[in-house]
């Protein structure tokens, strides 16, 4: 469970918080006016998140490379048609 602190307290205790994050591997949420604004996380967690994100984008890039080159207008028309058909089907189902 992450620790939550206000921005003022986090600023006053920043050195301590760095130690807790870096050595104790804690996650710390910093709030301003009760709204979460930032999270302090260990560097290894950050690096893992970035690597996972990059891997997901590589998968998307590979998928995109295999897709046929379809003009955006055609895609928009297909989506509009699918929406219209779905709305018609939904309306027909509700009237029963």
Which segments of the chain belong to CATH 3.40.1620.10?
Answer: 3-41
Mean pLDDT value across residues 71-96: 87
CA distances, 69 to each of 75, 78, 80 (Å): 11, 15, 19
The pLDDT assigned to 96 comes to 52
CB 30 within 8 A of CB 39: yes
> Which CATH architecture describes the domain 3-41?
3-Layer(aba) Sandwich (3.40)
Q: Would you state the torsion angle of the CA atoms of residues 45, 48, 54, 59, taken in this order, to the nearest 10 degrees?
A: -130
Indicate if the pLDDT at residue 29 is higher than 90.
yes
The pLDDT assigned to 68 comes to 82
The whole model's pTM is what?
Answer: 0.63
């Amino acid at each position: 469970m992450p620790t939550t602190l206000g921005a003022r307290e986090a600023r006053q205790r920043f050195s301590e918080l760095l130690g807790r994050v870096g050595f104790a591997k804690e996650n710390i949420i910093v709030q301003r006016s009760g709204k979460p604004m930032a999270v302090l996380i260990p560097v290894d967690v950050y690096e893992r998140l970035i690597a996972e994100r990059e891997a997901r984008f590589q998968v998307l890039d590979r998928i995109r490379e295999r897709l046929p080159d379809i003009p955006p207008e055609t895609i928009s028309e297909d989506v509009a048609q699918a929406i219209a058909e779905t709305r018609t089907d939904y309306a027909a189902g509700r009237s029963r």
